[in-house]
Structures are given as C-alpha cells and as structure tokens.
Amino acid sequence: MPVRDILHNKERLYGLLLMTAFAVMPLIALVAPRFIAYWPGIVGLCALVSFPFVFGEKPEIPKTALLWIAAILGLAALSSLWAIDGGYVLERTLKIALVLLPGAALLAAARSVPLAAVRPFLPLCIWAVAAGAVLCALEIMLDFPLQRALNGLVSIKTIAPANLNRSVVAVLCVLFTAAGMALRLYGQRAAGLFVAAILMVAVTQSQSAQLGFIMAMICFLAFPFSRKKAWYGLAAILAAGVLAAPFLAMWMFDSFAAAVEQMPVLGRGGAFGSERLEIWDKVGRYALQRPLYGYGIEATRLITDFDTAQIYRKGVTELHPHNFAIQLWIEFGVIGALAGAAFLAHVLKVLSSANPGQARIALPTFMIVLSAAAFGYGLWQGWFLGLIIFTIAFAALGMRLYDEGQS
C-alpha cells in the first residue's frame, strides 16, 4: 500500500505503528535489554488509549490475565506481613505492578486490533526477529563491536559473551511467533528464521537459551498437539517439579554436583552447572525452614546466613535462586508452590484447546520462557517480566492468524 494511503487511513496507520513497536523489540534487546521492562507498558498504554478513537469500539480486556496479575500482586503484597523487610517487599511489589499492569494493555491491543489493520505490516516483525538473531550472532563472533561502541568499551580487551545472554533469550522468546507468522504468509520460506536462530544459539554462552531452544524445537516438530493426554502429562510433570523443587534440588546436589563439575560443557568453564546446583541446594534447604509461607518476595537478596559448604559457589549471599520454582518456595512457601503449579497447569490447559497452528506458536514459546525462568533469571527482574508480557502479547497476535476463517 502506498505511504500516502497509509497516512490517510487511520486504521492502517495504527497497524503500522503497532507492528513497528513490536518489530523494534529485538533491537531494544540488543542495545538496551533492561528497557524491555518499560517498552510493553509504553506501547500498550498508547495503543489502548488510541484504540477507541481509531476503531470506534472498546478493546477486549484480558480479564483472565488481569486476574492472574492481581493474584501475583496480592500475594506479593501480603508477603510483607511475614517478610524479612516488609517495606522492601511493598516497594518491590509496586515496581512489579508498574511493569505488569501497563503491560497488560499491550495484550489487550494485540487481541483486539483487527487483523486487516496489521496484516500488511507483519513482515516487519518477521524480518526484525531474523535480523535480531543474526546481529546477536555477529556481535558474539566479531567480539562485540556494537556493545563496545555504545557502552564506551573500545579499550576493554575482553567482553564476556554472557553480556549478550539477555538479548539472545529475548530474540528466542519471539522467534516461534515470527516463524508462525512466516509459515502462514510465506510457507516453507520461514526456514530462514530457524537458520538465523541456530547460528545465534550455536555461538551463545547462554545454556538456558540453548536448552530452551532444543526443547522448543522438539515441541515444534514432534509434540502430539491433538492428544489431550500429552498436554495433561506435561502439565502434571511441570506441576510435580514445582511442588518437589527443594527436595529435587537437595537430591541433585548430593548426587550429581561432583560429576557435573568435571563435564566440559555443564561444569567449570562452561555452564557452571555444579555452582548452580549448590545455589539451588542452599536456597531449597533454607526454604524448608519456613515451608508454609516462606520469607516474602525477593527474600533471597536479604538473607545473609545461607548454610552452604561453598564447594563450587563462594559466599553465603545470593541475589536470586536462578530457578523460579525454588524462588516461589523461599518467598511464599508451599502456598507459592501451589499457586505456581496451578498457573502452569492453567496455561497448558488453555494451550491444549488451541488448534495445531496456534499450538506450534504457543508451546515452543512457553518452553523457552520456562527454560529461562528455570535456569537463568530471577522471576521478578523488571526486564524479564516485561519480556514475558511482551512475548505473551506477540504470541497472542500471531496465533490469531490461525483462527478459523483466516487465510
């Protein structure tokens, strides 16, 4: 469509601006990943406020998502009653609310915008994701020229490849939605996206990204989407893992830490797997000292007396447990674990009702987010929460291409 026609068609202009906002996320992830905390809310509020003026109707409010957000914020605020530092907990709860609530507006826009308004501009998102994967790979292979230029690090001899882990995870979170869009629009030519992603995954040092990508590809290629029992089985496995997390952590540390330490990929100099096992062990054991309701949100940052032998991980403090299930246990006890298990089961129940095209977007995306939360990042980091809600909104938009009656 000619530019003049777009500028004189407010619905198409809305679609162009919204898809441009989605498309720049991989670039933001590359140059300023922490800004992802704010981007979904900024875009979402702008899109939500302007929606009635453009389309003459109210957008669809994501009631279920808002209920889950309210439950998260309510539990977080309630934990101030038993937390180590109640004031700190309330401050963190407010910051989480400032990410999640505005971000929900982006989900509303993604679910409400007419596909006719955005469909011509979906290639922007597809190409942006492909470019993001290629740029991440080139940054790592060429010794981070962009990072050096932007952050004044030209004179630094060595930059750790882990500095780009957030960027890699962010690109992978939107990869399968972009692939689903490309398959719908271009058919087999979508394979180019996976070539770019494989290149990025091959050179990254983010093992959580690599593991998430492998699990996502297995789901994309081989998961029996039409079999309800497969969905129930996956939900049961994940729920059981969350409920048993502290006990699994202690068993794995006692049984495998020494062997993992000697492995070239998972051990010292690779993924630091033995170090991660020791973190899980000490946090899991501490969580079981107060198993009913835990120590309040972000408690790990405030605990200074973890009981640890410091075999692989030196120090008795920890910013976060590097595992969402153990984090739920130490912050909210079994109450948080039950809530986390219920949330995962709910998500998979919703996905099980999707058609195969939609499920091929949603389940691989879910597995990548789950891997990052299980092995990489603290659950309440602002950029990670922003990335999760952006990923959900982008996936919701992509899945709409596979609604019945869409061609």
Q: pLDDT tens digit string along 332-356?
A: 999 999 999 999 999 999 999 999 9
> Which pLDDT score, from 0 to 100, does residue 148 have?
79
The letter for the amino acid at 67 is L
> Does residue 344 sit within a domain?
no
CA angle, residues 111, 387, 333, in degrees to nearest 5: 105
One domain, residues 28 and 123: yes
> Which pLDDT score, from 0 to 100, does residue 154 have?
63
One domain, residues 15 and 150: yes
> Does residue 233 sit within a domain?
no
Q: For residue 126, what are the domain limits?
A: 3-225+354-402
Confidence of residue 150 (pLDDT cuts 50, 70, 90): confident
Boundary-marking domain end, from 330, 362, 388: 330
| Residues making up the chain, counted from first to last | 407
Residue carrying the six token digits 């670039």:
27
What lies within 8 Å, CB to CB, of 176 at 6+ separation is 216, 220, 360, 361, 364, 365, 368, 395
Rg of the Cα trace of the chain? Answer: 21
pLDDT tops 90 at residue 16: yes
What lies within 8 Å, CB to CB, of 113 at 6+ separation is 14, 15, 18, 47, 51, 55, 59, 397
Confidence of residue 91 (pLDDT cuts 50, 70, 90): very high
> Which pLDDT score, from 0 to 100, does residue 264 have?
73
Boundary-marking domain end, from 330, 345, 374: 330
One domain, residues 134 and 92: yes
Can you read off the two tokens belonging to residue 367?
């597995």
> Which pLDDT score, from 0 to 100, does residue 157 have?
67
pLDDT tens readout for residues 365-393: 999 999 999 998 899 999 999 999 999 99
Q: Which residue has the higher pLDDT, 404 or 236?
A: 236
One domain, residues 89 and 46: yes
Mean pLDDT of 243-253: 96
One domain, residues 302 and 187: no
The number of distinct structural domains making up the chain is 2
Q: What's the chain's average pLDDT?
A: 91
pLDDT tops 70 at residue 6: no
Whole-prediction pTM: 0.94
> Does residue 348 sit within a domain?
no
One domain, residues 147 and 31: yes
- Quote the CA–CA distance of 220 and 245 in Å, as a whole number: 27
Least confident of 86-95, 113-122, 263-272: 263-272
> Does residue 345 sit within a domain?
no
One domain, residues 221 and 244: no
> Does residue 306 sit within a domain?
yes
Confidence of residue 319 (pLDDT cuts 50, 70, 90): confident
CA distances from 376 to 28, 30, 268, 371, 381 (A): 20, 18, 17, 8, 11
> Which pLDDT score, from 0 to 100, does residue 373 have?
96
Phi, psi of 111 (to 5 degrees): -85, -20
Boundary-marking domain end, from 297, 330, 363: 330
